[in-house]
Chains A and B, each alone.
Chain A
């Protein structure tokens, strides 16, 4: 079975500062990795995904993430955040053998301070 850990439940950051949201996963098989964002009163939206190939993945809204197999991590980064990035961010994983079953982490609440 797969599991996802997001160590930081809340991350406050000043506007235009860089941010990193941490994600670690556990799996006995090869996995696919994802980051989703949930804005207030909305459903989740896919930010980016890693399936294979380059370990640095670029997504929407200037976000990127790096897959590190040895550390079983998939941290999300943005060099300069905006107020509009305030949202809940979820790391997720699915196994290559059951890719329809997407397992989500507990989420990190990003608050951008003016």
Chain B
């Protein structure tokens, strides 16, 4: 138990569906992140939110839409995805100033048919 909870753990969706991934942290952190983990590839940093403001957006396609309503919750809204978007999506949180110590959730395994 890392204090970062992701739901759902597994998601299968068609290319025309709309779904959302949810992340919740119980650690009192003020920064949250989405990473994409694909087979045989390094983790890709997608988005960074610090104090609920997006501070990083690594050229992620617009079919991925993040939302951070408060410092404890982070969402990733998905629509019209492609099969190559199938991956493990990891949420992480940290405290700004605590260098590099990210706390990860267990991930949401996404399969796009």
CB-CB under 8 A from A102, the residues of chain B are 45, 100, 102
- Could you tell me if B100 and A104 are in contact, using CB atoms closer than 8 angstroms? no
- Could you tell me if B102 and A44 are in contact, using CB atoms closer than 8 angstroms? yes
- Produce 1/0 per residue, B1-37, CB < 8 A to A: 0101000000000000000000000000001000100
Q: What is the size, in residues, of chain B's interface with A at 8 Å between Cβ atoms? A: 25
- Produce 1/0 per residue, A99-112, CB < 8 A to B: 11111111100000
- Could you tell me if A43 and B45 are in contact, using CB atoms closer than 8 angstroms? no
- Could you tell me if B2 and A46 are in contact, using CB atoms closer than 8 angstroms? no
- Could you tell me if A101 and B45 are in contact, using CB atoms closer than 8 angstroms? yes
Residue of A nearest to B56 (CB): A101
- Could you tell me if A49 and B42 are in contact, using CB atoms closer than 8 angstroms? no
CA distance A102 to B55 in the complex (A): 13
Q: Decide if A92 is an interface residue (CB 8 Å cutoff).
A: yes
Residue of A nearest to B6 (CB): A43
- Produce 1/0 per residue, A12-52, CB < 8 A to B: 00000000000000000000101010000111111001010
- A-B contacts, 13 of them at CB < 8 A, read A41-B106, A43-B90, A43-B92, A43-B104, A43-B107, A46-B101, A99-B100, A100-B50, A100-B56, A101-B45, A101-B48, A102-B102, A104-B42
Q: Which residues of A are in contact with B by a Cβ distance under 8 Å?
A: 4, 32, 34, 36, 41-46, 49, 51, 90, 92, 94, 99-107
Q: Which residues of B are in contact with A by a Cβ distance under 8 Å?
A: 2, 4, 31, 35, 40-43, 45, 48, 50, 55-56, 90, 92, 94, 96, 99-102, 104-107
